[in-house]
């Protein structure tokens, strides 16, 4: 039986039965396999009946073959292109940039503090010289 099919093959099949955990798909007159509910489509599947019906023609990929138990693990999802993920939208800094925001929050950058310290140092020097 395994001579006909091998792992990684993509085949056309027909849905022969549906259970809450997956769908049975006939690969030919003798062999059928299971498409687990997680392998039906990309994304979450709450109810498999929303995606498949008995008699549907589907394209499946053989994920695994257990010859001893005569079990075929199939995937419909593996034959489809994954949907593109939307880029997360990032907040743009307000006019004046992040530096303005940090000062409003009570934080100073090291550059600002350094300039302040240099001024204080120069003032002290001038005080001591006079």
Which residues make up the CATH 2.40.50.140 domain(s) of the chain?
10-79
Burial class of residue 99, CB neighbours in 10 A (0-12, 13-18, 19+)? middle
Select 10-79's CATH number: 2.40.50.140, 3.30.450.370, 3.40.50.720, 1.10.1070.11: 2.40.50.140
Contact status, residue 74 vs residue 8, Cβ threshold 8 Å = no
CA dist 102 and 86 (Å) reads 30
Residues 6+ apart with CB under 8 A from 80: 41, 42
**pLDDT computed for residue 123 by the predictor:** 85
pLDDT values of the chain reduced to their tens digit, one per residue, 130 residues: 446 889 999 999 999 999 999 999 999 988 999 999 999 998 888 999 999 999 999 999 999 999 888 899 999 999 988 777 766 666 655 555 555 554 555 666 777 788 888 888 888 888 776 6
Q: Give the contacts of 128 (CB within 8 A, at least 6 positions apart).
A: none
93-98 long-range contacts, CB within 8 A, separation 24+: none
22 DSSP β-pair partners: 19, 36
């Amino acid at each position: 039986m395994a001579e006909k099919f091998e792992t990684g093959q993509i085949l056309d099949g027909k849905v022969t039965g549906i259970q809450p955990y997956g769908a049975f798909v006939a690969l030919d007159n003798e062999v059928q396999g299971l498409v687990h509910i997680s392998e039906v489509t990309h994304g979450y599947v709450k109810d498999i009946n929303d995606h498949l019906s008995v008699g549907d023609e589907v394209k499946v990929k053989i994920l695994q073959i257990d010859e001893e138990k005569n079990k075929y693990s199939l995937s419909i999802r593996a034959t489809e292109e994954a949907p593109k993920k939307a880029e997360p939208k990032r907040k743009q800094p307000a006019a004046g940039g992040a530096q303005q925001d940090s000062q409003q929050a009570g934080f100073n950058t090291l550059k600002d503090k350094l300039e302040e310290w240099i001024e204080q140092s120069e003032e002290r020097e001038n005080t001591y010289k006079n």
